[in-house]
Amino acid sequence: MSETKESNQEADKREAKQFKAWALAGELGYTIAIPIVVFALLGRLADKSWGTGPWLLLLGIVMSILISTWLVYRKTIDILK
């Protein structure tokens, strides 16, 4: 009886860890995707409005990469604490 209870507890712990890992993966996905989409769209709209070619789109993409990197770094530091 106690072996079954222990194995159930271990299985529950394993499932909880897997859930946390999937939640973290989803969170990081949104952390990366949202800035890229937002800044790329803003850059494209600004390029259309001001006729600046692809430059503001490229600037938006570069800014989104920098922001996403910083956000992932902060999240990593929080996890490691």
Domain extents for the chain? 2-80
pLDDT at 76: 94
* Amino acid found at 14: R
pLDDT at 8: 85
Rg (CA), the chain: 21
DSSP letter assigned to residue 51: T
Q: Tens place of pLDDT for every residue, the chain, 81 residues? A: 566 777 888 888 999 999 999 999 999 999 999 999 999 999 999 999 999 999 999 999 999 999 999 999 999 999 998
Q: Is 16 helix (H, G, I), strand (E, B) or coil?
A: helix
pLDDT at 3: 66
